[in-house]
Structure 1
Amino acid sequence: MPVVQMEILKGRTLEQKRAMVKEVTEAITRTLTCPPEAVTIIIREMEKDEYATAGVLNADK
Structure 2
Amino acid sequence: MPIVNLHIVRGLSVEQKRTLVAEITQTLARVAGAKPARTHIVIQEVADEDWGLEGQLVLDRRAAPPATA
Task: Map 1:1-61 to 2 at 5 A.
Answer: 1-61=1-61
Moved over 3 A (4+): none
Gaps of 5+ in 1: none
| Unaligned stretches of 5+ residues in structure 2 | 62-69
TM-score when normalising by structure 2: 0.83
TM-score, normalising length: structure 1 = 0.93
Amino acid at match of 1:34: A
CA RMSD of aligned residues (A): 0.8
The number of aligned residues is 61
Identity %: 33
Q: Deviations over 1:15-50 (max 9, x none)?
A: 000001000000001111122011101100011000
